């Protein structure tokens, strides 16, 4: 199996196992973030495919993980658009 296909398979498994909600704020999300970044571990590292190195994040929480990558106005707009989702009970 190719690396991309393997990653997509693992991503789908994580979303089924953990649900499609941000693991930080509980907002709806399907984005998978590597806790130890691929840029630090290398694309050839087993950590790229290790489920314990992955977390589901919404766009807002992902921006907090990568503050220099995203435009701050884009982040503020997403936060406003999302509204009261942060108050959703787990």
How confident is the prediction along the chain (90 residues), in pLDDT tens digits per residue?
Answer: 688 898 889 999 999 999 999 999 999 998 898 888 777 776 677 788 899 999 999 888 887 887 655 565 665 665 565 554 444 444
Residues 6 or more apart in contact with residue 12 via CB below 8 angstroms: none
Secondary structure class of 35 (helix, strand, coil): coil
> Domain span at residue 82?
3-87
In this prediction, residue 62 carries a pLDDT of: 84
In this prediction, residue 42 carries a pLDDT of: 66
In this prediction, residue 85 carries a pLDDT of: 47
The count of domains in the chain is 1
In this prediction, residue 30 carries a pLDDT of: 83
């Amino acid at each position: 199996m190719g690396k991309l296909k393997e990653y997509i398979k693992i991503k789908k498994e994580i979303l089924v196992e953990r649900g499609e909600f941000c693991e930080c704020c509980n907002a709806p999300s399907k984005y998978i973030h590597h806790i130890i970044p691929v840029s630090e571990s290398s694309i050839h590292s087993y950590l790229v495919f290790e489920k314990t190195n992955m977390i589901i994040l919404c766009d807002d929480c992902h921006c907090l993980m990568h503050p220099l990558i995203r435009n701050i106005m884009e982040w503020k707009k997403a936060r406003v658009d999302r509204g009261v989702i942060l108050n959703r009970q787990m």
